[in-house]
Amino acid sequence: SQQGEEDPQALSIQEGENATMNCSYKTSINNLQWYRQNSGRGLVHLILIRSNEREKHSGRLRVTLDTSKKSSSLLITASRAADTASYFCATDGGDRGSTLGRLYFGRGTQLTVWP
């Protein structure tokens, strides 16, 4: 079963606006990752945040992690049309037995940025 669930399922904004996507997960985790998928392509890794971190930045991306609420958010500032893609969070199984090799993806948020 999936560990992470993104919200909203779809998001449509204008260029220049900020886009916020959320990810909730069920069990404790070691780390959480965000990926982007352009239409017809494979997933591309964006950022990894560790369970002892609360916030991380990479360029126009800002990721937060709240382990008490079992949730993470991905903020893309000053969105561009090229940011149009699906965004996925991925988590490990945390403390639920052996988790090596297992990565759990959510259903994704489809972001559309209009010029």
Which residues contact other proteins (rule: CB under 8 A)?
A: 1-2, 29-31, 33, 35, 40-45, 48, 88, 90-92, 99-108
Choice between 109 and 115, CB closer to other proteins? 109
CA dihedral 52, 57, 62, 64 (to 10 degrees): 10
| Pairing relationship of beta strands 85-91 and 104-105 according to DSSP bridges | antiparallel
Choice between 2 and 12, CB closer to other proteins? 2
Choice between 2 and 14, CB closer to other proteins? 2
CB of 84 to other proteins, least distance (A): 18
Q: In 3D, which of 8, 1, 17 has the Cα closest to residue 83? A: 17
Choice between 19 and 36, CB closer to other proteins? 36
Q: In 3D, which of 63, 69, 87 has the Cα closest to residue 28? A: 69
* Phi, psi (degrees; rounded to nearest 5) at 65: -140, 125
Could you count the other beta carbons within 10 Å of the beta carbon of residue 88? Answer: 22
CB of 92 to other proteins, least distance (A): 3
CB of 33 to other proteins, least distance (A): 7
